[in-house]
């Protein structure tokens, strides 16, 4: 039986302040927790699960601190509308885990503030073999439960760095930055890339001028209809589909 203080502690991890203080975040559901259990070098602090889930996954959990919980207890600690069998507390990766690889492709995200968009972008990056994502400090927190859920496990395979984009980009002037813009070169005219970074801007404002000034080449997805813009995650998918 979970005590009140443990329930309160787990519930507090829905807030960034407490995640940062404790150095952990929440992962929920059989699929994502299952991926977490087999992800290399991922620090799983504790798993809370229904008895039947733990019995089915006994081998994966044999070296993990696990606790059986009842349905009503899982409901109390879950961040999901419909709790799903298992919840895990996982260690946040430190900045030391991020090493930028110039010979590999990456994404730069400028002000992506919608958790669903950020999670989907991380998942898209994983699909196209892009394993490094650099985020401006005002992007949504990648370890927000909504973001984690929408990555569907890709959060364990994509390295993330939150930083001051202008200063960071200034340190890599020998790297190509492709900025998604409405007035860029048509995507169809851009060759596939094996390295370089695609810069995606805020959902409504696009890439900030200070960041755009550091872009090597503006690129655009040509439109045929009357829509004003594309969703940031959709645009990321289209661009990576072409460039990768």
181 contacts: CB under 8 Å, gap ≥ 6: 201, 206, 207, 212, 218, 219, 220
Give the chain's domains with CATH numbers: 4-92 (3.30.1330.30), 96-243 (3.40.1280.10)
Q: In this structure, what token pair is assigned to residue 70?
A: 């009842």
Token digits for 97?
């885990």
**244 residues of the chain, pLDDT tens digit each:** 888 999 999 999 999 999 999 999 999 999 999 999 998 778 999 999 999 999 999 999 988 999 999 999 999 999 988 889 999 999 998 777 789 999 999 999 999 999 999 999 999 999 999 999 999 999 999 999 999 999 999 999 999 999 999 999 999 999 999 999 989 999 999 998 899 999 999 988 999 999 999 999 999 999 889 888 889 999 999 999 999 8
Contacts of 51 (CB under 8 A, 6+ apart): 68
């Amino acid at each position: 039986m979970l005590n009140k203080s443990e329930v309160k502690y787990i519930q507090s991890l829905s807030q960034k302040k407490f995640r940062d203080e404790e150095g952990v975040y929440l992962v929920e559901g059989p699929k994502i927790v299952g991926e977490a259990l087999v992800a290399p070098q991922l620090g799983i602090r504790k798993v809370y699960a229904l008895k039947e889930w733990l019995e089915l996954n006994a081998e994966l959990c044999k070296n993990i601190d696990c606790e059986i919980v009842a349905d009503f207890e899982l409901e109390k600690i879950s961040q999901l509308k419909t709790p799903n069998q298992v919840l895990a507390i996982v260690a946040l990766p430190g900045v030391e885990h991020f090493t930028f690889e110039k010979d590999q492709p990456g994404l730069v995200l400028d002000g992506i503030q919608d958790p669903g968009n950020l999670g989907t972008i991380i998942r898209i990056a994983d699909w196209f073999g892009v394993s490094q994502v650099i985020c401006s400090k005002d992007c949504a927190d990648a370890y927000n439960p909504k973001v984690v859920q929408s990555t569907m496990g890709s959060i364990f395979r994509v390295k993330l760095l939150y930083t001051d984009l202008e200063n960071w980009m200034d340190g890599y002037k020998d790297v190509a930055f492709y900025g998604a813009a409405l007035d860029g070169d048509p995507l169809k005219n851009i060759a596939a890339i094996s390295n370089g970074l695609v810069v995606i801007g805020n959902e409504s404002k696009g890439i900030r001028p200070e960041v755009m000034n550091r872009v090597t080449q503006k690129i655009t997805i040509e439109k045929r209809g009357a829509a004003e813009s594309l969703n940031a995650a959709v645009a990321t998918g289209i661009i990576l589909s072409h460039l990768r």
